[in-house]
Amino acid sequence: MHGFGFDVAHMLAGLLVLASLAMLYQDRLYSLLNTLALHAFVLALSVAWQAYIQHAPHLYITAFIALGFKSIAVPAALRRMVFRLGIHREIEVVVGTGFTMLAGIGLIALSLVVMLPATIHADPLAREDIALALSVVLIGLLMMVTRRNAVSQVAGFMSLENGIVLAATGAQGMPLVVEISVAFSILIAFIIIGIFLFRIRERFDTVDVRALDRFRGEQR
């Protein structure tokens, strides 16, 4: 009854969750950035598909932003940064990979349990999209708390934003204002992060944010 368009939309949203999980166990910065690019690419496909089945041509713009900016420009810039800082070594993971993966699976289960009953009356397409989008958001959060490296925290934040864009496009007819603003805020956020990375580098000779923890304001 739902048809082909529905199935493809689901498959793409599912792929995005899969890419999120894949980001969790990347322990090298370059491979993490590659997975981030893949993540954004899947998002672009998913958004483009939504644009097609919803007959909403403005969503193609969002898809294009996801493709050009998030999947190509940002990973390339981050990669350059990693190279220039000379930190293409292993990522220090705070908790073990196995535990992180289990936690990620738990978060997916959690978001399904929370969202599906809450959205019984909503349109079925949006309904499952939003549940998957929430898992992407939560996994992005998990990634940000388990990583100690500034670049991987940025990657976690980007994947979180991708989840939100997925949710926004899944909700039919959501005004364009929001999508553009999301893209725009990511741009600003990215510039700021870039500045910060260089400032961090200047002061500490590392982008490991653990170095920051030593400078708690209340120590003497």
Partner 1 sequence: MSFSAVGIVLGAPLLAAAVLAAIPSYRISAALNTIAALVAFAAAASLPLWRPESGAYLMVDDLNVVFIVLNTFVGFTASVFSASYIAHELETGRLTAGYLRFYHVMYQLMMFGMNLALVANNIGLMWVAVELATLATVVMVGIYRTSAAIEAAWKYFILGSVGIALALFGTILVYMAARPVVGAGADSMVWTILITRARDFDPSLLNVAFVFLLLGYGTKVGLVPLHAWLPDAHAEGPTPISAVLSGLLLNVALYALLRFKMLLAANPSALPPGPLMMALGLVSLLFAALMLYNRRDIKRLFAYSSIEHMGLIVFAFGVAGPIGNFAGLLQMTMHSLTKSAIFFSVGHVVQVKGSQRLSDIGGLTASHPVLGWGLVIGVVAIAGLPPFGVFMSEFLIVSSTFARQPYLATAVAFGLLIAFGALLMQVSRIAFGETRGRTGPVQASYVPMFAHLAIVLVAGIYLPGPLVRWFQHVALLLG
Binding site for partner 1 (CB under 8 A): 114-115, 117-123, 126, 130, 133-134, 137, 141, 144, 150, 153, 157, 160-161, 164, 167-168, 171-175, 177-178, 181-182, 185, 188-189, 192-193, 195-196, 199-200, 203-204, 209, 212-213, 215-218, 220
CB-nearer residue toward partner 1: 86 or 173: 173
> Are 179 and 198 in contact, with CB atoms under 8 Å apart?
no
> Are 54 and 172 in contact, with CB atoms under 8 Å apart?
yes
Minimum distance from CB of 74 to partner 1 (Å)? 15
Minimum distance from CB of 176 to partner 1 (Å)? 9
Cα–Cα distances in angstroms (integers) from residue 52 to residues 15, 19, 59, 67, 71, in the given order: 18, 23, 9, 16, 20
R_g (Cα) of the chain, nearest Å = 18
Residue whose token pair is 């996994």: 139
Query: Is 151 exposed, middle or buried (CB count within 10 Å of its CB: 0-12, 13-18, 19+)?
Result: buried
Give the span between the Cα atoms of 75 and 130, in whole angstroms.
26
Give the span between the Cα atoms of 116 and 169, in whole angstroms.
18
CB-nearer residue toward partner 1: 98 or 215: 215
Given its phi and psi angles, is residue 86 left (phi above 0), alpha (psi -120 to 50 degrees) or beta?
Answer: left
CB-nearer residue toward partner 1: 51 or 200: 200
Minimum distance from CB of 187 to partner 1 (Å)? 11
**3-state SS class at 113:** helix
Minimum distance from CB of 212 to partner 1 (Å)? 4
CB-nearer residue toward partner 1: 34 or 168: 168
CB-nearer residue toward partner 1: 75 or 156: 156
CB-nearer residue toward partner 1: 3 or 217: 217
